């Protein structure tokens, strides 16, 4: 009887230790942008409330890079990138260029949505004058990337 109790207590402690290891281990965010998105040159446009940019943009595994005459080289690196469905990603990104040094390495939440075969929207979680999360669209709030110059 004592052997069975000892065996049960050892089994329970082993199981609890295993569960703690599984729960405490960090989540690996293995998502990256699809091969279709990564294999094309995109052009950063603007929403309907701004002028046009037409900056050549490159998507890599978890990074968006483009260069502007005013800001210089800009990089948005996503530390967490989760693919929700075939066309939508959510990620926490760090935005850096020579104009915004981003003190404290602050990260912002973004929604990346492939609206069509040749259009991608980058929507910040909270945008000025927009109520709700990820509510930006092509008229206001979303940065638009297209395969074609406009």
Contact call for residues 14 and 31 (beta carbons, < 8 A): no
* Six-digit token string for 122: 């980058």
> pLDDT 10s digit of each residue in the chain, 150 long?
566 766 666 666 655 655 555 444 444 455 888 899 999 989 888 655 555 667 788 888 889 898 877 778 888 888 888 999 989 999 998 877 776 666 667 788 999 999 999 999 988 887 666 677 777 777 777 888 888 776
Decide: residue 89, CB within 10 A, 0-12 exposed, 13-18 middle, 19+ buried. Answer: buried
CA-to-CA distance for 104 and 90, rounded, in angstroms? 22
CA-to-CA distance for 77 and 117, rounded, in angstroms? 23
The pTM of this model reads: 0.69
Domains in the chain with CATH codes:
35-146 (2.40.128)
- The alpha helices in 52-137, defined as continuous H runs, are none
Phi-psi region of 108 (alpha: psi -120 to 50; beta: other; left: phi over 0): beta
Instruction: At 35, give phi and psi (nearest 5°).
Output: -60, -35
């Amino acid at each position: 009887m004592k052997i069975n109790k000892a065996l049960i207590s050892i089994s329970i402690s082993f199981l609890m230790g295993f569960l703690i290891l599984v729960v405490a281990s960090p989540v690996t965010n293995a998502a990256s942008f699809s091969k279709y998105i990564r294999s094309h040159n995109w052009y950063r446009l603007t929403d309907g409330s701004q002028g046009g940019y037409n900056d050549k943009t490159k998507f890599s595994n978890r990074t968006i890079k483009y260069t502007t005459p005013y800001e210089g080289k800009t990089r948005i690196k996503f530390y967490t990138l989760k693919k929700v469905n075939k066309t939508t990603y959510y990620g926490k990104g760090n935005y850096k260029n020579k104009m915004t040094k981003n003190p404290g390495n602050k990260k912002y939440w973004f929604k990346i949505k492939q609206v069509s075969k040749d259009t991608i929207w980058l929507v910040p979680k909270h945008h000025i004058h927009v109520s709700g999360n990820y509510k930006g669209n092509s008229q206001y709030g979303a940065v638009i990337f297209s395969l074609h110059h406009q």
